[in-house]
Structure 1
Amino acid sequence: MNALQKSNGPITMSAGLAILAGLSIPETASAHVKWFAPYIVGARPEPLSVTLHDIWFWVGIVLVLIFFVATRLIEKSGFGQVAIEGLNAATAPLWDRQDDYIRAIIASFFVAIFAVGGVYLTPDLKTPAEWVSWMQLLIACCVFSRGTMPIAGVGIIALWLLALRDYDLFHLFDYLALGLGVAGYLLLEPLKNESLRERRFEALRWGLAIALMWSSLEKFAFPSWFYPLVIEKPFLTFGMPRDVFIPMAGVTEFTLGFGLLWTPLIRRLSAMALLVIFTAAVWPFGRVDLIGHGLIMAILIAVAADRRSGVDLMTAFKQKIVNIPLGLSATLVIFCTAYWGLHIAFYGIDGDLQIGEDAKTTHSYNPEHPHGPGIQGEIGAPSDK
């Protein structure tokens, strides 16, 4: 703490709050469970009432609200501008070439996915179709010219639609918002209409925020999916019981995703906290996590460097401290209603009762997915023939 205090006071105090908010709650917030453990999307989720009666869920909410309120108080005070100027100075080289940076990281991500091969857009959407990998390399090539960037954007949407052949729509909702955010950037950046073009970074940020909030709900709806990871890597829980660790990890991901949509200092520090957590997950989860989350981590760096001082929607509402808990509560209600409601609409109140031994999972036995051999219904699993 003394080392922090010796540098730029208000800046480091804000950064410390961000890191405390992110790291006081478990790091599994950054690991997408579907990449590392078997799952069945149509299984019956835990009732929402279980989460609402969990004291650790509310402890996590209170911790992050303290971070948001403290950061907003700093932002409104005389120290707020000093903190913003400090962040601006630290990220100036990136800000000066932000479009070049974003285009480079999008292209790098698709080159990495091409190199991995056999997946649509993300590690758990497996496909035996070799042409899909080449399509992703083509997307990477199209990113570098403003004339072909729209082709790359349309290609991302097309790949998501093609994945519907093999995967349930509810499953693919996990990747819809981020895909649309990246595609939106690629479609908006070449425009000559500056009023539309300037929205390109908002498209990225909103897509990422919605994706993080949506995927975080798995930790409340399907906590049992995370049990193999907790057993396999017990150090992740920092000695906490798994049923304390998992809901607080979900709170971290949801609330910091929400923070990306708030006032400038809150969203920049939320991005920094998320970046620390995602980066820390690379060592225990390895190459799959780095490739799968590389684009997210790179966008978080761009959000942390974003100097825009405005708020894109409901500016007056977001500037009032009292509206932070109101906004978070409303967002939780909207997302939880959508998640549980759509799951019931797709699979029924008791889940998909037809699920049996032929249900599709993602993982076969190998060093990166060590939870057991794949079943016959697994996409890309070897055939008995």
Structure 2
Amino acid sequence: MKAMKFIIPVLVILLLRAEPALAHIKWFVEFDIAEPPRQLTEVLNGTFWLLLLVASVGLLILYSIDIKWSRAQRFDWFGRFFSNQPNIVDTIARIGTGVFFVMLWLIGDVILAPDLLGDAAFLPYLHLFAAIFVLFESTMILSALCILALYGYGITQYGFYHMLDYMLFPGLAAYLVLKSIGGTRLEQYRVPLLVVGMLFSFLWVAIEKFAYPQWFDPFLDSNEFLTMGLPRDFFLMCAAFVEFTLVYVLLTGRNVVSLAALALNLMIIAGAVHFGKVDTIGHFLVIVILIIMTIKGPSVYSFFSYRENRGVLAQAGIIVMSYWLALGLMVSMYYGFHYLAYGRP
């Protein structure tokens, strides 16, 4: 119980100051992705299990509240605010995509993200064309093809494992394709595909904090205040749980989704202000997608639906157990795909 009294306030502080935890470490330090990740026997230590217990209790309480709240009313304040602008989501997505790819065109020597450097002559043009083609709905599919070409080129240069950090780009391409062709039943899945692609990227890099805590040492050496005096390994494990848990709520919650998306966006914007241009450009599309999530709420991408004929605690318990499965699945994928890409050390 003494440990619980210590960890819970730490997690609350981390949630309130989570912008350093959400920084994409590959944008700021040198790293070797072929380096074997930390052994699972080291990851699954006593601190891991205690933090998992704290997160599970917190989620059980949160989902119990969310279920009762959803039964009483649907929270769609942001959606209602923009109800007289039915195309607001598509407008935000297209403007955001255009601005992002113009920024990459101006930089010139990157492939979709700050850590993916490339000197091929065609890269700036693909970024520019991706921006131009979102101007017209009929040509958005060409913008998607440019994005997929950039993503594919990134795989040839950095490998599929590294590019799993950036699944938001295939999600964005799917969004643009479905919006461009229009008039099909598949069009309703354009926002879910966009959102799930982005959230997968967050889940993936959350596991990175378990697997490669040593990558953060140079970053924390120059930003020691971020740890708040806590041991680094403990701080990073807390940060990983905060990030993974918050994104899981975005995938599975109902009324809390808009508020959680807004909170996460404010954290990321605060981090961008602190860490500067690289972080701002790297997270720009994420900020755009989180704005869309704030307006849309859970829509059809929520993996659970609350049922009136089931008990609140029973439903909340099922979602918490699914959280355990999701965490286990992501850890298994992270380590399994690393083995497929690089083999054993």
TM-score (norm 1): 0.78
Contact preservation (8 Å) 2:253, 2:298: no
Give percent identity, aligned residues only: 29
How far, CA to CA, are the matches of 1:70 and 1:135 in structure 2?
Answer: 47
Q: Say yes or no: does 1:27 pair with 2:19.
A: yes
1:200 to 170, 190, 202: 190
Instruction: Describe the superposition over 1:1-44 as per-residue Cα deviations: whole angstroms up to 9, x where unpaired.
Output: xxxxxxxxxxxxxxxxxx95862574322111111000000001
Q: Secondary structure at the match of 1:264?
A: coil
Residue 333 of structure 1 corresponds to 328
2:208 to 188, 199, 218: 218
Pair 193,83 (structure 1): closer, same or farther in 2 beyond 3 Å: closer
Residue 92 of structure 2 corresponds to 101
Residue 344 of structure 1 corresponds to 339
1:334 CA displacement: 1.1
Contact preservation (8 Å) 2:258, 2:297: no
Pair 214,308 (structure 1): closer, same or farther in 2 beyond 3 Å: closer
Amino acid at match of 1:53: N
TM-score (norm 2): 0.87
Amino acid at match of 1:127: G
Instruction: Describe the superposition over 1:331-384 as per-residue Cα deviations: whole angstroms up to 9, x where unpaired.
Output: 11111111111112222222xxxxxxxxxxxxxxxxxxxxxxxxxxxxxxxxxx
**Equivalences for residues 108-123 of structure 1 within 5 A:** 108-123=99-114
Amino acid at match of 2:35: A
Residue 4 of structure 2 corresponds to none
How far, CA to CA, are the matches of 2:60 and 2:146 in structure 1?
Answer: 41
Pair 41,307 (structure 1): closer, same or farther in 2 beyond 3 Å: closer
How far, CA to CA, are the matches of 1:104 and 1:257 in structure 2?
Answer: 24
1:168 CA displacement: 2.3
Q: How many residues align?
A: 330
Q: Say yes or no: does 1:184 pair with 2:182.
A: no
Contact preservation (8 Å) 1:68, 1:266: no
1:246 to 236, 245, 252: 236
How far, CA to CA, are the matches of 2:257 and 2:299 in structure 1?
Answer: 11
1:64 CA displacement: 4.1
Amino acid at match of 1:340: Y
Pair 300,81 (structure 1): closer, same or farther in 2 beyond 3 Å: farther
Contact preservation (8 Å) 1:282, 1:289: yes
Instruction: Describe the superposition over 1:32-57 as per-residue Cα deviations: whole angstroms up to 9, x where unpaired.
Output: 111100000000110122221141x3
Pair 217,116 (structure 1): closer, same or farther in 2 beyond 3 Å: same
How far, CA to CA, are the matches of 1:190 and 1:321 in structure 2?
Answer: 38
Unaligned 5+ segments in structure 1 are 1-18, 351-385
Pair 311,216 (structure 1): closer, same or farther in 2 beyond 3 Å: closer
Amino acid at match of 2:92: Y
